[in-house]
C-alpha cells in the first residue's frame, strides 16, 4: 500500500476578496512554502480595493460590523489548528472578539453631546478615518497582526496590511480563514513580501488615511512619518502586542488613532 501524496498548498495574496499571485510574479520562500512577493503595484491594487470597500463597510450599522467580526472569529476558531501555535491562536481569536464587541460602543465612549453655551444641540460623533495601512510586526505573527487590524475594522475602516517578511504564514493563513467568513471583499487586504519595499510604497500612497506601524523599526517609522506628512496622514507607532492583555489594554488609543471626530450643531428653537 503506497503512501498518499499530499496536495500542496499554494499561498496567495488576499486583495479585494480574491486570492491572487503578485502581479510581479515574484516569490519568496517561507519554510517549506513558496509565498508571493508583492510589489508596489499590488499595494496600489490593494489600496484601490480597500477604498472601494470603505463606503459600503462604513455604511453598515455598527451592530452588523460586530456580527461580521464575530463570525470571522468563528471562522478562525474552527480553523485554529491551521493558524499557528495554539496558545497564540486562542489569544488572537479572543482579541478579535474583544474588538467585535467594540463596534457599537465606540460612539458612546469616544463621542458625546457638547453642552455649548448657546441654544444648539451639539454632538460629536466618532467616524472611521478611511483606509488604514498596517505594518504588521514580526512576532507574534498572528496575534500581533490581529491586534493591529481588529481595532481599525471595528471602527469601520478598511485595511491594507503588509505582513512580516520573516513570519508571513500566520497572516496568509488568516487571509484564508477570513476568506470564508462574511468579511466583504476589500475590507481586509493582506500582502506578503519585503517590508522594506512595500511599507514605504504603502506609506506614500496618497489615498491612504492612516498608517499603523507595529514594525518596531525606528528608521522605518521615521520614514513613514515623513511620507505621511505629504497628505497629513494619521500615524500610530506601537510595540507589537505579544499577549491578549497587551492587545486590549490600550483599546481606546488604538481606536482613537483610526477615528475622526465629527462635531455637528443644530439649533434648538422653533
Which residues contact residue 228 at a Cβ distance below 8 angstroms, ignoring those fewer than 6 apart?
203, 211, 234, 235
The number of beta carbons lying within 10 Å of the beta carbon of residue 150 is: 27
Q: Where does this chain touch another protein (CB under 8 A) — which range of 60-68, 141-149, 168-176, 205-213?
A: 60-68
Under rule CB under 8 A, residue 252 binds another protein: yes
Under rule CB under 8 A, residue 31 binds another protein: no
Q: At its nearest, how many Å lie between another protein and the CB of residue 254?
A: 13
Q: Compute CA distances 62 → 104, 105, 106, 202, whole Å.
A: 5, 9, 9, 28
Q: Where does this chain touch another protein (CB under 8 A) — which range of 134-142, 184-192, 231-239, 244-252?
A: 244-252
Q: Between residues 5 and 268, which has the closer beta carbon with respect to another protein?
A: 268
CA dist 165 and 186 (Å) reads 22
Dihedral sign, CA of 205, 13, 251, 109? positive
Task: Tell whether omega for the bond before 55 is within 30 degrees of 0, i.e. cis.
Answer: no
Q: Between residues 57 and 244, which has the closer beta carbon with respect to another protein?
A: 244
Under rule CB under 8 A, residue 54 binds another protein: no
- Considering only 116, 121, 222, 264, the residue that binds another protein (CB under 8 A) is 121
Q: Where does this chain touch another protein (CB under 8 A) — which range of 6-14, 29-37, 130-138, 247-255?
A: 247-255
Q: At its nearest, how many Å lie between another protein and the CB of residue 143?
A: 14
Which residues contact residue 45 at a Cβ distance below 8 angstroms, ignoring those fewer than 6 apart?
15, 16, 23
Under rule CB under 8 A, residue 60 binds another protein: no
Q: Between residues 11 and 244, which has the closer beta carbon with respect to another protein?
A: 244
Q: At its nearest, how many Å lie between another protein and the CB of residue 166?
A: 30
Contact 161, 149 (CB under 8 A): yes
Interaction with another protein in 182-241: which residues (CB under 8 A)?
A: none
Contact residues for another protein, defined by CB under 8 A:
62-63, 66-67, 70, 94, 97-98, 100-105, 107-109, 121, 244, 248, 251-252, 266-270
Amino acid at each position: 500500500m503506497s503512501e498518499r501524496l499530499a496536495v500542496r498548498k499554494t499561498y496567495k495574496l488576499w486583495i479585494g476578496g480574491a486570492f491572487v499571485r503578485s502581479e510581479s510574479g515574484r516569490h519568496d520562500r517561507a519554510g517549506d512554502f513558496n509565498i508571493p512577493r508583492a510589489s508596489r503595484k499590488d499595494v496600489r491594487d490593494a489600496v484601490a480595493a480597500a477604498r472601494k470597500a470603505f463606503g459600503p463597510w462604513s455604511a453598515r450599522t455598527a451592530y452588523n460590523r460586530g456580527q461580521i467580526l464575530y463570525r470571522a472569529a468563528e471562522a478562525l476558531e474552527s480553523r485554529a489548528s491551521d493558524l499557528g501555535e495554539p496558545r497564540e491562536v486562542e489569544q488572537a481569536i479572543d482579541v478579535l472578539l474583544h474588538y467585535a464587541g467594540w463596534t457599537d460602543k465606540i460612539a458612546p465612549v469616544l463621542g458625546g453631546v457638547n453642552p455649548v453655551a448657546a441654544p444648539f444641540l451639539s454632538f460629536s460623533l466618532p467616524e472611521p478615518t478611511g483606509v488604514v495601512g498596517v505594518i504588521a510586526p514580526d512576532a507574534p505573527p498572528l496575534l500581533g497582526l490581529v491586534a493591529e487590524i481588529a481595532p481599525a475594522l471595528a471602527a469601520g475602516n478598511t485595511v491594507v496590511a503588509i505582513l512580516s517578511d520573516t513570519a508571513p504564514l500566520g497572516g496568509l493563513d488568516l487571509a484564508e480563514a477570513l476568506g470564508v467568513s462574511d468579511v466583504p471583499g476589500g475590507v481586509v487586504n493582506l500582502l506578503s513580501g519585503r517590508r522594506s519595499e512595500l511599507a514605504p510604497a504603502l506609506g506614500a500612497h496618497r489615498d491612504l488615511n492612516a498608517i499603523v506601524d507595529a514594525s518596531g523599526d525606528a528608521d522605518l517609522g521615521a520614514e513613514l512619518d515623513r511620507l505621511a506628512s505629504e497628505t497629513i496622514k494619521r500615524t500610530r507607532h506601537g510595540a507589537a502586542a505579544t499577549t491578549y492583555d497587551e492587545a486590549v489594554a490600550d483599546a481606546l488609543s488604538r481606536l482613537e488613532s483610526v477615528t475622526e471626530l465629527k462635531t455637528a450643531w443644530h439649533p434648538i428653537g422653533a
